[in-house]
Chain A
Amino acid sequence: MTFLNHTQIRVIKNKAAKHVMLGLTLFSLLLVLIIGLSLYFKSVPILKLHSLWSLLSESNWRPFKGQFGFFPFIMGTLWVTGIAIVIATPLCILAGIYLSEYAHANVKRIVFPMIDILAGIPPVVYGVWGVLVVVPFIADKLAPHFVDYSSGYSVLAGGIVLAIMIIPLLISILFEIFAAIPKELRDASLSLGATNWQTIKFVIIRKSMPGILAALVLSISRAFGETIAVLMVCGNIPVLPKSVFDSGYPLPALIANNYGEMLSIPLYDSALMFAAFILFIIIVLFNTISRIILKRIEKKFAL
C-alpha cells in the first residue's frame, strides 16, 4: 500500500470534482429529454386507442364514455393567448421604446424595480385580482353592451390577466433589444436630418424586427403554460368559446382541475398527461427557436 503525497491528493480531488460536476451538467441537459419522454410514455395508452388527429380535432370531452376530444381546450388556450398578446404587444413596444429612447435615468430607476415586482407577483395573486376586479368589471360594465349575459368568467378575463402577467417578460426583452442597437446607427440616421421619431420608426424598429418576433414567440409560450391565474378567471367549460365573453377551458387548466379524479377513470390520467405533453412540445420548440434568435442578436450587437 502506497501513500499518496500531497500533490497527488490535490490532483485526485480536482479530477473527482470535475467528474461530479460534468455529471450534474449532463443531467441538466438530459432533464429536458427525461421530462419529454416520461410525459410521452404516459400518453402512449391514449395514443394507441385514438389517432393523434382525432384527439386534436374532435370536440367531445366525455372521459366517462372514453371520448377525449382536445379541440375545445386547444381553442381555449389559443383564445386567451391571442387576447393576451393583442393587449400586451402594443403596450410593451411603446413602453419599451419610451424607456430605451426617451426616458430619463431617474424614470428608469423607478420603472424597472416596479416591473421586477410585477414579474415577481405569484400567478395566484394575479388570479385573485382577476376574480375581484376583472371578472365583475366584464360581467357588469363591459359585457352588457355587447351580449345578453356573461358571468364575467370568460376568455376575455383570462386574456386580460394573462396580458399583465406576460408584460414584465416582454418589456424587459424588448428594452434590451432596443437598447442593443448600436449608437452609430442612430447617429447616422440623426445626422442625415431625421428626427428622433423617424430614427425610431425607420432604423430602430426595423433593425430589431427579428428580436421583436423572438420576444413575442417567447411570451406566447409563457402564456400557453400559465395555469392557476387563468384557471381562476376563465370559467372552465369544455365547449368552444364563440365570443370573448364566453367561458373557455385552456389546456393547463384542464390538467390542474382534474388531477383529483384522474386515477379512477380509465385512460383519464393518460389523457391529462397527453395534454401536458402537447404543452411541453410546443413550449420547448418555441423557447428553443426564440432563445437561439435572441442569442444571435446578442452576439451580433455585442461588438
Chain B
Amino acid sequence: MRKIEEQFFKVLMILATLIILSALFFIIVTVVKRGLPAMNWDMITKIPGGGFYIGKEGGLLNAIMGSIFIVIGSTFLGLLISVPIVIYCNIYLPEKSLLADVTRLASDVLFGIPSIVYGAFGFTLMVYMGLRTSLLGGIIAITLLIIPILIRSMDEVARLIPKELKEATLSLGATRYETIRVMLKQIAPGITTAILLSIGRAIGDAASVLFTAGYTDSIPTSLGQPAATLPLAIFFQLSSPIQEVQNRAYAAALILTFIVLVLSLAARFYSRKYSKNKI
C-alpha cells in the first residue's frame, strides 16, 4: 500500500514537471510558427510605412532601434547607481550591518513592485519635470525597473567573496576605496550575469514604457523624442485588423523571444563558469 501511494505521487510529480516544461515548449512553438513566416529582411531594416497601425509596408526598425537605445541608456544608468550600492554594502559596511540588511530587503521589495507602478511613477515624475513621452522618460522608468535586479544579482556574488581577501588588501595598507578594484575583479562575472538578466527584463517590459516612452513610427534622434519599443510593437500591432500589420507583431514576438532565450542561456553559462573558478 505504501509503495502504491509513493508510486502514485511520483507519477503525479513527474506529470506536473512535464506540464510546466510543455507550457514553455508550447509557447515557443506558437511564437515560432507565427513569427517565422512573417520574418523577412524588410522587418529588421525598414521602419513601418504609412503608420504602424494601418500601413502594410515596412518593418520594425523603429521598435528595434528604440529598444536598443532604451536598453543601453538604462543599463548604463542602472550600473552607475547599483554598483556603488553593492560595493558600499559589501566593502564599507561591516559584515553584520543593519543598513546592509535593510538595503537588501528594500531591493527585494523594489524587485516585487510591478512595472505598471514604475510606469505610473515615471509618468508622474515626467509631468513634474515637464517632460513629454520621450526616450529619456523610457530610460528613466526602465532604469528604476532594473536597479533592483542589478543590485540583487551582483550582491549575491559579492557576498561570496571570502573576507580574508578583503582583510589581506586592507592589511597591505590599501584604503577601502583602493580595495574596490580587487573586489570588482572578483565580482566581474557576477556583473556580467546581472547585466544580461537586466537587459532581458528591460527589453521585454511593456507596461513601464507605455506611459513614458510612447510609440512612434520613426527612429528617435534625440532624448526628447518618443521612442517605439519591441514589446509595444507587439502590443499595438497585434490588435490591428490588417494581416500585414499583425505579421509585424508576430515577427516582433519572435525577435524578442529569441533575444531573451540567448540572454538567459548566456547568463546561466556565465554564472556557471564563475562558480567553477571561485576561490
Contacts and interface: CB of A to CB of B under 8 A. Distances in A.
Contact of A122 (B5, B16, B30, B204): B204
Interface stretch (A64-72, A142-150, A219-227): A219-227
Contacts of B144: 31
Interface in A196-219: 196-198, 218
Contacts of B3: 195
A86 interface: no
A41 to B, nearest CB: 9
B207 interface: yes
A28 B106 contact: yes
B176 interface: yes
A11 interface: yes
Interface of A: 10-11, 13-14, 17-18, 20-22, 24-25, 27-29, 31-32, 35, 38-39, 42, 90-92, 94-95, 97-99, 102-103, 111, 113-129, 131-133, 164, 167, 171, 195-198, 218, 221-222, 224-228, 232, 252, 255-256, 259, 272-273, 276, 279-280, 283-284, 286-288, 291-292, 295
A39 B120 contact: yes
Chain A facing B: main interface SS: helix
A287 B30 contact: no
A133 B106 CA distance: 38
Contacts, number: 258
B88 A21 contact: yes
A145 B80 CA distance: 56
A198 B207 contact: no
A120 B200 contact: yes
B112 A283 contact: yes
B85 A124 contact: no
Given A91-B19, A167-B20, A291-B109, 12 more contacts: A17-B84, A25-B88, A25-B103, A28-B147, A98-B13, A103-B17, A120-B204, A122-B257, A123-B231, A124-B232, A252-B207, A283-B117
A177 to B, nearest CB: 16
